[in-house]
């Protein structure tokens, strides 16, 4: 007698699903009942046995997936726009409050208007000097000097960083000298450049380069040196040359640091040019500041500072726009 017959069932294939051949047969014994999920083909399985059906998660269609992701992306962009609008609103409110307080302080004599002037007086001077054309030659000279020092300082600094990376022994030799030279007060070198190069564009450019080259060299060289070891090992294991390593890994991987250095160099180039014009220039925005101090025209001084701030902001935004273009182009590629 088979084991199934002892339980009251039949050994025939048609009755393996339960004692009475039902689709959901119950087999009773002394201690309770065991329910099966049998069918007409005799494939009944106990809920406590090996044949328990496992639940499967429903699969989402590709359209549902894309719609869900697009909705999340739209919400993210909406939050970003609201945050940007809130930040801009607060910035404009702070600027308006500062200008209003400054205007009131000057007109009500809370501060000495001879020293601090006030916004409407500065705006009137800027408008008149812009309309009669007396401002633009000075702006053109200073912007040209700043752009030259900015671009040349960045290129020379990047080239020096590449040279130090290419020759590690040279980097170890030059390291303490770079640190010492970077710590020197650059303004103190101005008279030396004036004597050596004369009173003109070259001495101003030299002062600007001392501001930008060393900072660029140190920052970019540190990035070259600290590139991810895994990427370097992959190129070397594949038999790549040192030039291929630099061209394919080191330089592209350093673009974020190079862009950050460009942003820093915008401010440093303006500082270098203005300091140089303080010392030797006969025209330019730095010359206007010195002239304003000499004749006690502090409205001229402050209006020139406003022009410098606006020009430096435009240069910085240009670098930021270039960064966005490079990042978006890299993602597309």
CATH number of the domain where residue 202 is located:
1.10.3720.10
Confidence of residue 113 (pLDDT cuts 50, 70, 90): confident
| Segment 168-197 mean pLDDT | 89
Report if residue 37 sits inside a domain.
Answer: no
Domain of residue 225 covers 121-332
| pLDDT tier, 27 (very low <50, low <70, confident <90, very high otherwise) | very low
Q: What is the pLDDT of residue 74?
A: 86
Question: Where does a domain end: 111, 136, 160?
Answer: 111
- Residues 83 and 127 both lie in one domain: no
Mean pLDDT of 26-36: 39
Instruction: Quick: pLDDT tens for 284-317.
Output: 999 999 999 999 999 999 999 999 999 999 999 9
Q: How many CB atoms lie within 10 A of CB 270?
A: 26
Residues 6 or more apart whose CB falls under 8 angstroms from that of 56 comprise none
pLDDT at 12 over 60: no
Specify the pLDDT at position 112. 86
Whether residues 304 and 178 share a domain: the answer is yes
Q: Are residues 88 and 153 in the same domain?
A: no
DSSP per residue, 194-213: HHHH-SSHHHHHHHHHHHHH
What does the radius of gyration of the chain's CA atoms come to, in whole angstroms? 38
| Residues 187-196, mean pLDDT to the nearest whole number | 86
* Out of 58-67, 105-114, 290-299, least confident range: 58-67
How many domains are there within the chain?
Answer: 2
Beta-bridge partners for 198 = none
Residue 15 has pLDDT above 80, yes or no: no
Measured from the Cβ of residue 225, the count of other Cβ atoms closer than 10 Å reads: 13
pLDDT of residue 14: 40
**Is 107 in the same domain as 125?**
no
Is 186 inside any structural domain?
Answer: yes
The answer to the question of residue 22 being in a domain is no
* Same domain as 209, residue 83: no
Q: Which DSSP state fits 247?
A: I
Question: Are residues 104 and 153 located together in one domain of the fold?
Answer: no
pLDDT at 198: 84
Stated as kind and residue range, the H or E segment containing 186 is none
- The confidence score (pLDDT) of residue 256 equals 86
Instruction: Say if residue 248 is in the same domain as residue 150.
Output: yes
Answer yes or no: is pLDDT of 2 > 60.
no
Q: What is the pLDDT of residue 242?
A: 87
On whether both 100 and 227 belong to a single domain, the answer is no
- Rounded Cα distance between 253 and 313, Å, is 27
Tell me if 33 is assigned to some domain.
Answer: no
Asked if residue 250 lies in contact with residue 228, where contact means CB atoms within 8 angstroms, the answer is no
Confidence of residue 50 (pLDDT cuts 50, 70, 90): very low
Q: Which of 61, 36, 32 is nearest to 48 (CA)?
A: 36
| 233 and 273 assigned to the same domain | yes
**Listed residues 61, 91, 111: the one ending a domain:** 111
Q: Above 60 in pLDDT, residue 59?
A: no
* 255 in the same domain as 216: yes
In a domain, 70, yes or no: no
Same structural domain for residues 300 and 223? yes
Measured distance CA(2)–CA(11) in Å, rounded = 7
Query: What average pLDDT does the chain have?
Result: 81
Residue 302 lies in a domain: yes
Tokens representing 247?
């061209």
Crossing angle of helices 255-280/136-166, nearest 10°?
A: 130
Q: What are the φ and ψ backbone dihedral angles of 78, each rounded to 5 degrees? A: -65, -40
> Is there a single domain that holds both residue 160 and residue 97?
no
Domain boundary among 89, 111, 133: 111
Q: What is the mean pLDDT of residues 230-236?
A: 85
User: In this structure, is residue 63 part of a structural domain?
Assistant: no
Token pair for 209? 């380069």
Say whether pLDDT at 86 is over 60.
yes
Residues 6+ apart with CB under 8 A from 209: 149, 152, 153, 156, 272
């Amino acid at each position: 007698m088979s084991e199934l017959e002892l339980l009251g069932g039949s050994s025939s294939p048609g009755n393996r699903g339960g004692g009475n051949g039902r689709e959901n047969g119950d087999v009773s014994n002394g201690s309770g009942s065991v329910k099966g999920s049998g069918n007409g083909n005799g494939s009944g399985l106990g809920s406590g046995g090996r044949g328990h059906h496992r639940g499967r998660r429903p699969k989402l269609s590709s359209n549902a997936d894309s719609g869900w992701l697009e909705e999340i992306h739209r919400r993210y962009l909406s939050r970003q726009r609201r945050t940007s609008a809130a930040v801009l609103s607060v910035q404009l409110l702070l600027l308006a409050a500062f200008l209003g307080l400054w205007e009131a302080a000057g007109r009500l004599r809370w501060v000495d208007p001879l020293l601090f002037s006030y916004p409407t007086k500065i705006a009137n001077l800027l408008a008149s000097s812009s309309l009669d054309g007396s401002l633009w030659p000075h702006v053109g000279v200073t912007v040209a000097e700043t752009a030259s020092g900015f671009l040349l300082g960045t290129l020379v600094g990047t080239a020096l960083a590449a040279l130090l990376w290419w020759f590690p022994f040279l980097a170890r030799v030059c390291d303490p000298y770079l640190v010492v030279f970077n710590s020197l007060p650059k303004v103190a070198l101005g008279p030396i450049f004036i004597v050596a190069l004369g009173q003109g564009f070259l001495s101003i450019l030299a002062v600007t380069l001392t501001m930008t080259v060393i900072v660029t060299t140190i920052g970019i060289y540190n990035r070259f040196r600290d590139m991810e070891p895994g990427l370097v090992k992959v190129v070397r294991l594949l038999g790549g040359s040192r030039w291929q390593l630099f061209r394919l890994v080191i330089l592209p991987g350093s673009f974020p640091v190079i862009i950050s250095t460009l942003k820093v160099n915008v401010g440093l180039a303006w500082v270098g040019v203005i300091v140089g014009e303080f010392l030797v220039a006969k025209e330019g925005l730095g010359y206007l500041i010195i002239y304003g101090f000499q004749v006690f025209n502090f409205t001229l001084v402050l209006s020139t500072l406003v022009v410098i701030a606006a020009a430096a902001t435009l240069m910085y935004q240009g670098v930021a726009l270039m960064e966005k273009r490079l990042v978006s182009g890299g993602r597309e590629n």
